[in-house]
Amino acid sequence: MAETVSTPVPEQAHGAGLFTRLIGVVFSPRDAYTAVAAQPKWLGAMAVAGLVMAAAQFIFLSTDVGKSATLDQQLSVIKAVGANVTPEMIQQMESRMSIAPYTTAGSFIVILPLWCAIISGLLLAVFTAILGGGATFRQVYAVAAHSFIISAIQQVFSLPIQYAREELSSPTRLSVFFPILDEMGFATYLLAAIDMFIVWWVINLAIGVAVLYKRRTGTVAAVLLGIYAVIAVIIATVRAF
């Protein structure tokens, strides 16, 4: 039987406001997620995180540097899969850059709730169906929605650096600390697939899940980080071979 940990619910947790919870997710996640578990509201957290990310992308893609960096990345992806890039294709992609700030920002309205639902479903499958637990989908969804404030911070932190560097590659991936490695090697691809902000988000999410399921944070974090590591290895393997 899995070991459980009792998490006391402070009286003030029942009345914690939206911004108190979001600030708490960053600086005191266990207390914040205890409040979320007591009152699993998700819409406000989703709206704040989504608006911050959408605004950051809109501002970035409204600049010539942002449009050029985005176009370069799209062309690199097309070339990587072996597709032929024609002048007509480039012209069409360049013409779509004029509406990119609006389409990209608007996509968060659809993508973020769906992404949150997928994450919540996977967490329920692992920690409820397999390990057992009493958390509801609404509680898990609320925890995941609040954790997206970390992703919003990532956008605000990374986009100015990407603007200065005029490229979209993440400035917080581990590969930036190992410039001497072969650019086309497996090790570089593996380190590039591991981002410090994503690691922070995974650990932060693990704290919320641990609160919901009354498990030790270390155990939950080990499971989630293990899944992330497997995904990183798969990505690196596909890119290298």
- Residue 181's pLDDT band (cuts 50, 70, 90): confident
- Is residue 5 a part of any domain in this protein? no
- What pTM was computed for the model? 0.88
How far apart CA 174 and CA 67 sit, in angstroms, is: 25
DSSP string, 127-160: IIIIT-----HHHHHHHHHHHHHHHHHHHHHHHH
Instruction: Classify residue 105: in a domain, yes or no.
Output: yes
In a domain, 4, yes or no: no
Does residue 1 carry a pLDDT above 50? no
Tell whether 58 is covered by a domain. yes
Predicted confidence band of residue 11 (pLDDT cuts 50, 70, 90): very low
Q: Is residue 219 part of a domain?
A: yes
Domain annotation covers residue 124: yes
Domain housing 156: 11-240
Amino acid (1-letter code) at residue 233: V
- 186: number of CA atoms within 13 Å, CB side? 5
With respect to residue 129, please indicate whether it lies within any of the assigned structural domains.
yes
Integer angstrom CA distances of residue 71 from 67, 68, 76, 158, 238: 6, 5, 9, 18, 23
Residue 111 exposure: Cα atoms within 13 Å on the Cβ side? 12
* Number of domains observed in the structure of the chain: 1
What's the pLDDT score for residue 74?
85
> Is residue 6 situated within a structural domain?
no
Residue 16 has pLDDT above 90, yes or no: no
DSSP state of 166: T
